[in-house]
Chain A
């Protein structure tokens, strides 16, 4: 029981460090951050049982005591970090899994599935998402030439000397 307690205490430390480093990776950061205090509590319990057994059987209680102290310190630190890094990661996870947020908010969410990015305008590829309906052209002062592409379509070259379609009454 004593060595098991030490292993659990060290595991809790490792998970805590993982939680700190992977705060911005959805789900993984939460699992590590909130799992570390749970593992350290398990180390405390196992260490206590080991200490009890060692005293009953008149054996050395060094390992269980070491495990209990290690797990206690690991709990102290990992709980404090869980309330910072774990909470932060829960927020990051919520942002990453929410479908009604802008893709720009989901860009930094690591390995979460994200909507396919829109291609750059110059690539000529067809976007995955349907294009929104074109906006109506803004009112213009009479006599001005039509704005290029204002109807959402490529501008058609107007024959010289003829009025464009937009200005035809």
Chain B
């Protein structure tokens, strides 16, 4: 745990710079750069891709904030509790808000949204992995108690007992990097079919549902007596969405293959 990256001193003003914020921002900038590069390689409009990433990031941050408000509202019965008392970000709201913002702004920007999403999607888990490192250094999203190999102890955490725990953010970061490599290596023969986006949705839903089982922080919201977390519930919907996209891409592939076979 290393929550303060450095301390900025300008005259009498002294401000600590949090590792969490720096790594989350680095992840978002990395996502933008990788998307621009992918768009250039695919001979797409790079400027429109960058603008689209801007909208996706804005929508993603708004979605993550709104989902936190909704979850806190359900948990406390006060719809504005997440605004007044417990403001924060829930990751799953990010992709949902980003997807909505990207879909709404694609037409005015003149970019085919699904094609752009297929190009952008390998950058998402890579950026998310960097963000998870920020969680680890910041001390949030910590794991459940565990006294085996790879266990970590948050020695100077203000709220968490200094006991051996699962390094849950590191597990997720490693799995996200694997997903990013898998997506990057997936050939884009029919970019725009939504196949890569579907793979990302199903893959991340599985990763998140698994890593939630080793999380130790109940603040993220747990339901049915602690049996299921908010993110696991959302993972079911995201997985189903991914399956729909994959089936749609498969049908489009079948249709394209049939058209090629029918052509003289």
Name A's B-contacting residues (CB within 8 A).
20-21, 23, 38, 41-42, 44-55, 61, 64, 68, 72, 75-77, 79-85, 90
Contacts and interface: CB of A to CB of B under 8 A. Distances in A.
Contacts, number: 91
Contacts of B52: 48
Nearest to B5: A80
Given A75-B28, A84-B17, 15 more contacts: A41-B54, A41-B57, A44-B50, A44-B54, A45-B51, A46-B51, A48-B47, A51-B50, A52-B109, A52-B110, A55-B47, A72-B32, A79-B21, A80-B22, A82-B21
Given A44-B53, A47-B50, A76-B26, A83 B20 contact: yes
Interface of B: 8, 10, 13, 15-18, 20-22, 24-26, 28-29, 32, 45-55, 57-58, 87, 109-110
A20 B28 contact: no
Q: Which 6 A-B pairs have the closest CB atoms?
A: A48-B51, A52-B47, A51-B47, A83-B21, A48-B50, A45-B54
Nearest to A80: B21
Contact of A48 (B25, B49, B58, B87): B49
A83 B17 CA distance: 9
B51 A52 contact: yes
A68 B46 CA distance: 12
Nearest to B51: A48
Given A48-B48, A80-B25, A83-B21, A20 B58 contact: no
